């Protein structure tokens, strides 16, 4: 096994059979490999690099913090950057969400949020409230509790005996639900499926409902109807169920507002942020919760049972503070909202191509769903690896996109995700469209089963 430029590797790679180019440097929306090839980063790595590559202010803030104070245990001391990050994030969070618990990955923060939900009810004296309700499709991370909440079978299959039971309801996924996202809504899109599940399970046993406000990689940028989360809020209030909003992928401005839930006016009980909050400069995530929930633990056990060595880390928090201030100083969330429709309009033109079943999204988050039959919306066989092949074809023409699989029926489904840095220009958006066109044409030629309905 070799990689470009490194004839012998000691790296245990995520993909053990892949031949990965070595990226040497980056700037703006671009990555440059060791051979001088340039790649347009149309997905911010993994929906992470919202501010763009090579921001010196963020790198400098981290270096300065590392020189001044690199580490203290969050159990023994506070530090200036964690206080500043908490103040910044509390000011941006909706409603009464004013307590910020920084961690170092989205999965870690999802684990912490779910455990917070369980611990809250236990310390309220309602010990039977322990069940988690989650959507299908859904993705909330790869550690075991987060994976339990995720309906992504190809990640789960090796660990079935280790995962906890999670009650699953269908996601509001307009391209594949009963109503197409148009009123009168089906139970998945109206929220009725949530109420039915809570009543069926016995509300006194249900602790939390977790969902992404816009489907990130789970439903490939599917946007629920505007009323959906208002109904979710009412139902959760009626049955004393905590609503956890997973904003790891769609938060930090990605859909044109700081949180993707913002346009609905709904305040969740707990919000989880990650990826874009430190722009890829540091592995930072956070649980954001109200004092009314933290106070129950303060009066009871005295701590959230999620002790992690690198929580409240000064350098990671300094990266978060610098990123949030950079986003604000350059009005980049506003820029994302303004230029998002340009991206969505350019990608909508892909609908004319064979196999493009749907194009959707909000802000600078978009999904292009590929199907074998545009009429019936039948997905490709998984063995065809269409999303992966399209991603490889895009990389061959210098474009980095993200492949999603499995959302059509748990196993099948191919979607390409686009999520460029917020500094993307209109010319670069045109380039994303042109390069994706070219990659789609290349892959289409190799696909069997093309019918006249697809042309």
* Interface contacts to ligand PLP, rule CB under 6 A: 105-107, 110, 139-141, 212, 216-217, 246, 248-249, 274
Taking the least distance from each CB to ligand PLP, the nearer of 47 and 185 is: 47
Q: C-beta of 106: minimal distance to ligand PLP in Å? A: 2
Q: Could you tell me if 214 and 263 are in contact, meaning their C-beta atoms sit under 8 angstroms apart?
A: no
Cβ proximity to ligand PLP: between 217 and 257 the closer is 217
Q: Determine the residue with CB nearest ligand PLP.
A: 106
Half-sphere exposure in the Cβ direction for 81 (13 Å, CA): 31
Taking the least distance from each CB to ligand PLP, the nearer of 274 and 361 is 274
Give the residue with the Cβ less far from ligand PLP, 257 or 444.
257
Shortest distance in whole angstroms from residue 40 CB to ligand PLP: 21
Smallest gap from residue 274 Cβ to ligand PLP (A): 5
Rg (the chain; Cα; Å) = 22
b/e map 209-235, b = 16+ CB within 10 Å = bbbbbbbbbbbbbbbbbeebbebbbeb
CB of 104 to ligand PLP, least distance (A): 9
SS (H, E, C) 179-203: CCCCCCCCHHHHCHHHHHHHHHHCH
Report the distance separating Cα 177 and Cα 214, nearest Å: 15
If the CB atoms of residues 296 and 316 are measured against ligand PLP, the closer one turns out to be 316
Distance in Å, CB of 136 to ligand PLP, minimum: 14
Place of tokens 């200036």: 80
Helices (H) and strands (E) in the chain, counts: 14, 15
C-alpha triplet 251, 93, 41: angle, nearest 5°: 20
Q: How far is CA 127 from CA 124, 130, 194, 223, in A?
A: 8, 7, 22, 35
Comparing CB distances to ligand PLP, the nearer of 141 and 421 is: 141
What is residue 378's DSSP assignment? B
CB of 235 to ligand PLP, least distance (A): 21
- Cβ proximity to ligand PLP, 101 vs 185, nearer residue: 101
């Amino acid at each position: 096994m070799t990689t470009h430029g490194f004839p012998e590797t000691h790296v245990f790679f995520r993909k053990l059979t892949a031949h990965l180019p070595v990226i040497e440097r980056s700037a703006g929306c671009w990555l440059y490999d060791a051979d001088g090839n340039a790649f347009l980063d149309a997905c911010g790595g993994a929906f992470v690099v919202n501010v763009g590559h090579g921001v010196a202010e963020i790198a400098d803030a981290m270096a300065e913090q590392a020189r001044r104070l690199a580490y203290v245990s969050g159990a023994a001391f506070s530090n200036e950057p964690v206080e500043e990050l908490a103040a910044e994030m509390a000011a941006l969070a909706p409603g009464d969400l004013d307590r910020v618990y920084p961690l170092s990955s989205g999965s870690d923060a999802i684990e912490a949020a779910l455990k917070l939900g369980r611990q809250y009810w236990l310390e309220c004296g309602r010990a039977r409230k322990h069940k988690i309700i989650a959507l299908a499709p859904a993705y909330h991370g790869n550690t075991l509790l987060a994976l339990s909440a995720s309906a992504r079978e190809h990640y789960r299959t090796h660990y079935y005996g280790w995962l906890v039971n999670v009650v699953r309801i269908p996601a509001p996924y307009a391209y594949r639900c009963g109503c197409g996202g148009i009123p009168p809504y089906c139970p998945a899109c109206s929220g009725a499926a949530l109420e039915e599940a809570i009543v069926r399970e016995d509300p006194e046993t249900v602790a939390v409902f977790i969902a992404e406000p816009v489907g990130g990689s789970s439903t490939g940028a599917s946007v629920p109807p505007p009323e959906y989360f208002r109904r979710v809020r009412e139902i959760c209030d009626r049955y004393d169920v905590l609503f956890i909003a997973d904003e790891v992928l769609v938060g930090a401005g990605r859909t044109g507002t700081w949180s993707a839930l913002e346009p609905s006016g709904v305040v969740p009980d707990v919000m989880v942020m990650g990826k874009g909050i430190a722009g890829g400069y540091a592995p930072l995530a956070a649980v954001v919760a109200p004092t009314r929930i933290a106070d129950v633990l303060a009066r009871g056990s005295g701590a959230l049972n999620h002790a992690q060595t690198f929580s409240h880390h000064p350098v990671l928090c300094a990266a978060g503070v610098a990123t949030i201030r950079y986003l604000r100083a350059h009005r980049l969330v506003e820029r994302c909202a303004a230029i998002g429709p340009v991206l969505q309009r350019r990608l909508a033109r892909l609908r004319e191509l064979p196999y493009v079943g749907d194009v959707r999204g909000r802000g600078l988050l978009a999904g292009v769903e590929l199907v074998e039959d545009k009429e019936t919306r039948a997905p490709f066989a998984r063995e065809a690896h269409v999303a992966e092949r399209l991603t490889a074809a895009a990389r061959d023409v210098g474009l980095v996109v993200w492949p999603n699989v499995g959302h059509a029926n748990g196993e099948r489904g191919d979607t390409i995700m686009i999520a460029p840095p917020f500094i993307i220009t209109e010319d670069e958006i045109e380039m994303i469209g042109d390069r994706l066109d070219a990659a789609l044409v290349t892959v289409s030629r190799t696909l069997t089963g093309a019918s006249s309905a697809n042309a």
